[in-house]
Amino acid sequence: MLSRIVSDRSDSTIILADHKKYEQMSRFKAFDWKAADILITDRQPPEKVDTAREMQGTNLLLAESDS
């Protein structure tokens, strides 16, 4: 898959996802948490997602909302 090749060749991999993506299932898996350096999102992830992120050393950045 192209996203894995790009991730493997990059200095860092950043995931940008809003909170609606936390519970959605996909038929495709782009890469594992261990490949992600940073998760940028609009809300604190659910405990299961946050635990997986922490275990792999992925940093979390919460985007500020104007509302």
pLDDT of residue 39: 93
- Cross-strand pairs, 27: none
Q: Which residue has the higher pLDDT, 37 or 3?
A: 37
What is the tens place of the pLDDT at every residue in 35-55? 889 999 999 999 988 998 999
Kindly report the average pLDDT of the chain as a whole number. 81
Predicted pLDDT of residue 47: 93
Is pLDDT above 70 for 17?
yes
pTM of the model: 0.74
Phi first, then psi: give them for residue 60, nearest 5 degrees.
Answer: -115, 130
Please state, in angstroms and rounded to a whole number, the distance separating the CA atoms of residues 63 and 30.
23
Cα–Cα distance list, 33 to 52, 66, 67 (Å): 7, 29, 30
